[in-house]
Chains A and B, each alone.
Chain A
Amino acid sequence: MPAGWGTPGVPVPRWLNRCGRVAGLPILGHVIGDEFETVLAAAQGGSGEAFSRLWRDGNPALLRYLRVMVPGAAEDVAAETWVQVVRGLTAFRGDEQAWRGWLFTTARRRAFDERRRRMRRPVTSLAEVAPDRLPVCQDAADVAIEHLATRSVMALVAGLPAMQAEVILLRVVAGLDNETVARLTGRSPGAVRVAAHRGLRRLAQILAETGVTL
């Protein structure tokens, strides 16, 4: 695990908590809700505005998931995901939960493809691969303070065991329910629940160890 915030002895800056509070007010707009059917139908009928709505609703969550799954390749894999989704768009049937499930299933497959590609290619240096995994330090000036906090928490999540990290992201960031995550990851709902809870407890522990207080 890369050294950084969250490892014993490295304190989490106090602003993380303050930013966490401020950033906590508006959430990832990942629930279109009652309008979903209308928006989907319009997009399937060719409406660019409707598609943009779906895209803006889904892409930030996709990126956050992918930054942990395939650091350094998140944007590329996200773009590939949308290409595939656009291709299958008119054939899709389902509610918003099913839509998000499909989106993230597609993203997950692309992510695993990317990992396999990487295994076959010469390993790039850690300095290139790591930036998405490390807490953002070097390029802090480039990132808005609010988003810095998000990236930092993502880095903490990335430090968890792989399944725990993925399950937490799919539940919290992707907004998928337990059943959908189980289907997506090919595990039982019970196993998913256990992994999620373990991951959260571990996160709580890390945050407490590093002295984050209110």
Chain B
Amino acid sequence: MPNFPWLSSQDAPETGDASLAALLAGAEPAEGLAPGLQPLADALATLTARPASDELAGEAAALAEFQNRVGVPVPVSRSRHRRHPLLTPLLSVRAAAVAAVAALSLGGFATAAFAGALPAPAQQFAHHTFGAPADDGGQPTGTHPSSATTTPGGPDATGPAAFGLCTAWAHAKAHGTPSQQAVAFRNLAAAAGGASNVAAYCAAVPHPRASSSHTAHPTGPPASHPTPHATGKPSSHP
């Protein structure tokens, strides 16, 4: 076994230990790194190199699990007509639309997307923007369980606020950013009989003023595809 004087316990063990302790903590040794320890320092730096794309590949699955568990709050049985305090003063149709856009969330949409329960075009959209499963025609549509049950508060999605809610939902879909769940969308899903039916439900909701029919999902450009960490090439090649 070769002799490494800077590592031998006869010579200044405290110094050696101090350097090692610093390396373990991810810090520069205070007294500088002994030259013989440079390969070790390099090796530890390599161990903590930035993530490779295969180390970030499981995000969609983990996010889906998260949306199923934490993204959906526990349903509480209260009267469906009890209005959310923040939205109570704003319950004209137009105001509801504005408020819903402001307090937007795609929680129900994202959950349905990851369950593969959206209609085909929406499923493909979700697939391209945030990695939800691609539309598979043969898949059984699992309607998301809890969002269809009794939920408290929020604009009543069966009433005149439906149009506003549908507009907000379509707006959110076009921009494609999942965010926190709003009470309003749960009611929309409940009124539509399931998250997967929202698109059809919204298509049937008439514009409260205009005679022309309004399609509930304007097609907007999909949000930019989330890219994995660029691994790139190192500056030196073997």
Mark A residues whose CB is within 8 Å of B.
13-24, 26-30, 43-49, 51-52, 55-56, 59-60, 63-64, 75, 78-79, 82-83, 86-87, 89-90, 143-147, 149-150, 152-154, 156-157, 168-169, 171-173, 175, 177-178, 193, 196-197, 200-201, 203-205, 207-209, 212-214
Contact = CB atoms under 8 A, between A and B. Distances in A.
Nearest to B114: A48
Contacts of A177: 25
24 contacts: A15-B237, A15-B238, A23-B45, A23-B46, A24-B42, A24-B46, A24-B49, A27-B26, A27-B50, A46-B181, A48-B63, A59-B51, A59-B55, A79-B61, A143-B54, A146-B234, A153-B44, A154-B47, A156-B43, A169-B47, A172-B23, A207-B39, A209-B2, A212-B39
Main SS of the interface on chain A? Answer: helix
Given A171-B24, A172-B44, A52 B37 contact: no
Main SS of the interface on chain B? Answer: helix
Nearest to B24: A171
B112 to A, nearest CB: 14
B179 A49 contact: yes
Contacts, number: 201
A200 B40 contact: yes
A169 B38 CA distance: 19
Contacts of B234: 18-19, 22-23, 145-146
Contacts of A75: 58
Interface of B: 1-2, 4, 7, 16-17, 20-21, 23-26, 35-40, 42-56, 58-59, 61-63, 65-67, 69-73, 107, 110, 178-181, 231-238
Contacts of B181: 46
Contacts of B20: 196-197, 200-201
B23 A147 contact: no
B39 A47 contact: no
Contact of B62 (A30, A49, A82, A87): A82
Contacts of B26: 27, 172, 175
A62 B69 CA distance: 21
Contacts of B70: 43-44, 46, 51, 86, 89-90
A46 B17 CA distance: 45
A86, A89, A90 interface centre (most CB from chain B within 10 Å): A86
A48 B58 contact: no
A19 B69 contact: no
B17 A197 contact: yes
Contact of B52 (A19, A79, A147): A147
Nearest to A55: B62
B62 A150 contact: no
Nearest to B6: A204
Contacts of A149: 46, 49
Contacts of A168: 24
B48 A173 contact: yes
